[in-house]
């Protein structure tokens, strides 16, 4: 399938060696062409459907930087290897205070970049709502920033001794400030398997399993998914989740086929997609996980609407999700 997955195709060089140099980092922070992206609890400041990105031409940038623990370095433009991208995280502020502070900065003094923002409506928007209006390259960068800032929010204290941690290596490591501990922590990604199950009856076309999850809207159906347990391979996780949630046995792991993976910044997972072939159409759902689960033919799936459409009826996940990628890939195979 030629379509690429949302949040993939990262265009930044993460410069993992360079970012460890304080001198190099300070040079990038002071550079006129560096880009700074404000973020607040996973939300971005949006102006006319464009996510706000600041440069040194914004004359109050230093005041904004002073409030953050430290800008988190994302990477360098692959094309130039010069322009650095940072995220400024002020998630610790109350929302009204954050928005009022930023609006207050904009209303001070004279500055072209600031005036352009002031003259239009500034919105603090959930990341999902801006996806339709941004490029795939920008989506990958903002996804990366969102996951990294979330990790910092949830690792302010050491898990070993309980003392505060400090941000190091341009935001790619936190270390306990207790000299007797000095535990180092690095950003983590939670692996999740997500799978589309196919059953081929003796007569008629193949069908796929779509389920309504207990925490989803009643009219939304999707593929099955679950976190990988410690000491478990991806294929073993697929086999376990399929049986636990739908009562379908996967007797042979060789029938589990890897399709694609996707970083998923809600909040910081890696979705690993598979196709699974079922040997039986019998379904026995875990009612703590699923409300319903049914087999659908390709013809039936093609009649379902996208999640969020105003049209009534059963809906499937939107285009940015790997669940939809798996469904669309399966549909192409049934053509």
**pTM for the full predicted model:** 0.90
Distance CA 136, CA 283 (A): 38
Residue 1 falls inside a structural domain: no
Residues 201 and 329 in one domain: yes
Is there a domain that residue 117 lies in? yes
Q: Residue 126's CB: how many other CB atoms inside 10 A?
A: 12
Nearest to 117 by CA among 65, 33, 60: 60
Tell me: do 113 and 211 sit in the same domain.
no
What is d(CA 240, CA 252) in angstroms, rounded to the nearest whole number? 12
The answer to whether residue 5 sits within a structural domain is: no
Tell me: do 43 and 162 sit in the same domain. no
Is 6 a domain residue?
A: no
Q: Are residues 81 and 194 in the same domain?
A: no
Whether 197 and 304 share a structural domain: yes
Does residue 213 share a domain with residue 329?
A: yes
pLDDT score for 1? 44
Answer whether residue 4 is part of any domain: no
For residue 107, tell me if it sits in a domain.
Answer: yes
Quick one: 199 and 90 in the same domain? no
pLDDT at residue number 150? 95
Residue 122: predicted pLDDT = 76
Beta strands in the chain (DSSP E): 12-13, 35-40, 43-47, 50-51, 72-77, 84-89, 122-126, 165-168, 173-176, 184-185, 190-199, 207-213, 224-227, 256-264, 269-278, 290-297, 305-306, 315-316
Cβ–Cβ < 8 Å for 74, 143: no
- 3-state SS class at 38: strand
Q: Averaged in consecutive runs of 10 residues, what is the pLDDT profile of the chain (335 residues)?
A: 80 95 96 94 87 87 85 92 92 74 60 57 86 93 96 95 96 97 96 97 96 96 98 96 95 86 96 95 96 97 91 91 97 90
Tell which of 172, 187, 202 closes a domain: 187
Q: Which two tokens stand for residue 275?
A: 């196709």
Domain that holds residue 169: 157-187
Same domain assignment for residues 233 and 259: yes
Non-local (6+) Cβ contacts of 211 within 8 A are 221, 222, 223, 224, 245, 246, 285, 290, 291, 292, 293, 294
Q: What is the CATH number of the domain that holds 236?
A: 3.90.79.10
172 and 227 in a single domain? The answer is: no
Say yes or no: 218 and 173 in one domain.
no
Regarding whether 198 and 179 lie in a shared domain, the answer is: no
SS3 readout for 216-236: CCCCECECEEEECCCCCCHHH
| Within a domain: 323 | yes
| Total structural domains within the chain | 3
pLDDT at 2: 47
Instruction: Mark whether 49 and 117 lie in a shared domain.
Output: yes
Residue 3 included in any domain: no
State the Cα–Cα distance between residues 74 and 50, nearest whole angstrom: 19
């Amino acid at each position: 399938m030629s379509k690429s997955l949302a949040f993939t195709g990262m265009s930044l060089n993460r410069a993992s060696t360079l970012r460890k140099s304080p001198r190099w980092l300070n040079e990038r922070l002071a550079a006129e062409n560096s880009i700074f992206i404000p973020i607040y609890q996973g939300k971005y400041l949006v102006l006319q459907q464009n996510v706000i990105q600041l440069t040194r031409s914004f004359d109050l940038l230093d005041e904004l930087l002073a409030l953050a623990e430290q800008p988190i370095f994302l990477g360098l433009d692959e094309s130039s290897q010069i322009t650095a991208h940072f995220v400024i995280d002020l998630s610790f502020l109350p929302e009204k205070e954050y928005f009022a502070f930023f609006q207050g900065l904009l209303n001070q003094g004279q500055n072209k970049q600031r005036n352009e923002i002031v003259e239009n409506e500034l919105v603090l928007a959930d990341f999902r709502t801006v996806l339709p209006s941004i490029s795939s390259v920008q989506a990958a960068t903002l996804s990366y920033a969102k996951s990294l800032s979330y990790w910092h929010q949830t690792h302010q204290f050491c898990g070993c001794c309980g003392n505060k941690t400090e941000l190091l290596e341009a935001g790619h490591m936190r270390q306990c400030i207790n000299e007797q501990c000095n535990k180092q922590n690095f950003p983590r990604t939670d692996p999740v398997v997500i799978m589309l199950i196919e059953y081929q009856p003796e007569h008629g076309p193949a069908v796929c399993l779509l389920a309504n999850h207990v925490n989803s809207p009643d009219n939304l159906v999707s593929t099955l998914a679950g976190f990988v347990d410690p000491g478990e391979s991806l294929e073993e996780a697929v086999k376990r989740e399929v049986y636990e949630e739908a009562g379908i046995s996967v007797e042979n792991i060789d029938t589990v086929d890897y399709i694609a993976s996707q970083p998923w910044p809600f909040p910081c997972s890696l979705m690993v997609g598979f196709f699974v072939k079922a040997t039986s159409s019998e379904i026995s759902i875990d009612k703590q996980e699923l409300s319903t689960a049914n087999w659908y033919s390709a013809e039936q799936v093609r009649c379902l609407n996208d999640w969020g459409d105003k049209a009534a009826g059963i809906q499937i996940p939107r285009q940015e999700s790997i669940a939809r990628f798996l469904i669309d890939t399966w549909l192409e195979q049934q053509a």
